[in-house]
Structure 1
């Protein structure tokens, strides 16, 4: 069983959330997001060298920044594995993956540059986030890319095995393009993005992260992956640490007229700011989701609460799934807070047995790290 959390590279800036703030005693895996892909060459690199390494390109060898903190975290919490997440939800990242998929030369450069990052920086593997292949041909190219990465990881010859995962869609229109069984042969597990089922792009103020019911649901996606032959313990259920808001609405499944402001982008609020002042929180135990509603402002926000998160943890255990995943770290309450979602899910999953396998803290081929530290 796993508890996976995405950590955003940019969290060190306005969010004031360094790697050292991660609740490592509640986690088994951390995905460091996001490395960027150059669409012209296919090469992968960290997106912000100052945030990641503490220096601009070409200005030194010794690492500081988040990479140094990750190394220290892994020595302090040997059960936490840290993966480098590549891509993301931006149009730039999506088009870059498509460019890689269309060229064997760019695919080779993608794999080689990923291995350079893995062997030089303090990571235990890779998590690919292509949102999303839009044709069967792109899906097939995705599978080939994963297979090439798996082969390259196995050829390094280190005493430990690199992990390879993906952030996977829960909408049929997206996963229908993926050769799921073929991809699964290369993957250690799948991070199911069981959120964003509704938002500014939908016609009504629907739930954005429900397990059952609605046009989209986590349960429907889980069943589709299982039907494709994916083992249940390789499916990690994603949960949002944010809420999506809808203005000018009379409640769930009703029309709306805007999405409001948000914490960092329009219509999206950090979970730790929810429910908004003046709103009442509701939990739908049938569909397993939470929302708040302010009748005076006619604003609905769809998100997870401790109660719905615990129900999701029970769903994970009942179906023998591989754990829970959270996007993203800075938006939760501290784990000591009674409304921390990560703490609530961890407490529910821990009795089922969480992954305590050791991470890697020895990098014999790295130009930056060795067994003595940074």
Structure 2
């Protein structure tokens, strides 16, 4: 159970504020602190020194994070470098030059050791794209090899977060060459649809929707996982990525509120995450419970969506308890290494919508381990199919 932690959640308002100490270190096997970056000197860079470090009256985020192992000694703590906002150019330039690569690797190991991390998680989004060059595909493997060797020599691990889209996989990754130079591959099987499209759809659908056609048939979790496996990655090195947030649109016509409804703009920002086009699960479930937002599980689908006209004609796709049961069982059946969540700080960590804190993350972990007792109802199972006719 890999749990990413968005360190900027410390700056959220009211009940959205989430500190390192709010993480329950007994739910996850791996916790990943995001993000570090890469500096102009090609060294790993601390992006928020006041929050991450102790110097100059800082908040000591790194050290507090690795101190979670004092509560659970089996917990693996990692630092993630990269992310979408970092882009690709600086990583492309560094990986193309052996001397620059060595500077990055050496500085990374030093930083991890200094703060007691157990490994690195690399999120280069993406080799060959977003400012990258074709040579990135080969250079990415070289970079992984050097990191893997240096980290293992120091008793640490290397994991990567990778794209779920077929077009990106084809260009960015030499999958067979990756196998021996990474310990775990976290597949970002979310943001498969979103408000950058002008129609509604589920951002993390397990199987293709009945009206999907053409390239949209590739935009589902099942396709992505199978594509990684068929490409040569052992299933036992893959995690299925699960979003603990919803992707939201503003409906053009409130009378049209199903899949593929016209929606020209992102959904209104939530009160805690304050970002157009997305809401944390904690925000969505709170609106559903308190403001009676309509919840629908379309026939043939395994995930819910919700809409409400009083909140700006909003429509959000998201994951719930029952969809987490289904997808954790899917991961078991596919013999995957486990599951990954982005990010734990938008789960229902205050237990406003459930009888327990972090219900979605707990449900994923427990179901995957075979210990989930709060099973999905039979009627819900009958309405949420296994997708065998859509594979």
**TM-score between the two structures when normalised by the length of structure 1:** 0.85
Query: Unpaired segments of 5 or more residues in structure 2?
Result: 373-391
- Cα distance in 2 between the residues matched to 1:352 and 1:294: 35
* Aligned match for 1:274, one of 266, 275, 284: 284
Cα shift readout 1:149-170 (whole Å, capped 9, x = no counterpart): 11212333xxxx3111111110
Q: State the 1:257 CA deviation.
A: 2.0
Match of 1:163 in 2: 157
- Cα distance in 1 between the residues matched to 2:143 and 2:180: 12
Query: Unpaired segments of 5 or more residues in structure 1?
Result: 354-374
- Cα distance in 2 between the residues matched to 1:224 and 1:233: 14
Deviating beyond 6 angstroms after TM superposition, the runs of 4 or more aligned structure 1 residues are none
Match of 1:179 in 2: 174
Q: State the 1:54 CA deviation.
A: 2.8
Q: State the 1:95 CA deviation.
A: 2.5
Counterpart check, 1:123 vs 2:126 = no
Q: State the 1:300 CA deviation.
A: 1.2
- Cα distance in 1 between the residues matched to 2:371 and 2:335: 10
Match of 1:9 in 2: 7
Tell me if structure 1 keeps the 8 A contact 2:282–2:349: no
Q: State the 1:89 CA deviation.
A: 0.8
- Kindly tell me: are residues 100 and 287 of structure 1, through their superposed partners in 2, closer, same or farther at Cα, counting changes over 3 Å? farther
Within 5 Å, give how 1:108-257 maps onto structure 2.
Answer: 108-133=102-127, 134=129, 135-156=133-154, 161-177=155-171, 178-213=173-208, 214=212, 215=216, 216-249=219-252, 250=256, 251-257=258-264
Within 5 Å, give how 1:23-102 maps onto structure 2.
Answer: 23-38=24-39, 40-56=40-56, 65-90=60-85, 92-102=86-96
Number of positions where the alignment pairs a residue of Structure 1 with one of Structure 2: 340
Within 5 Å, give how 1:298-309 maps onto structure 2.
Answer: 298-309=313-324
Q: State the 1:64 CA deviation.
A: 5.7
- Kindly tell me: are residues 55 and 12 of structure 1, through their superposed partners in 2, closer, same or farther at Cα, counting changes over 3 Å? farther
Tell me if structure 2 keeps the 8 A contact 1:335–1:343: no
SS across alignment from 2:265: coil
Counterpart check, 1:283 vs 2:297 = yes
**Higher relative contact order (Cα pairs below 8 Å, separated by 6+ residues):** 1
Tell me if structure 2 keeps the 8 A contact 1:188–1:234: yes
**TM-score between the two structures when normalised by the length of structure 2:** 0.82
Tell me if structure 2 keeps the 8 A contact 1:19–1:66: yes
Tell me if structure 2 keeps the 8 A contact 1:241–1:331: yes
Counterpart check, 1:260 vs 2:275 = no
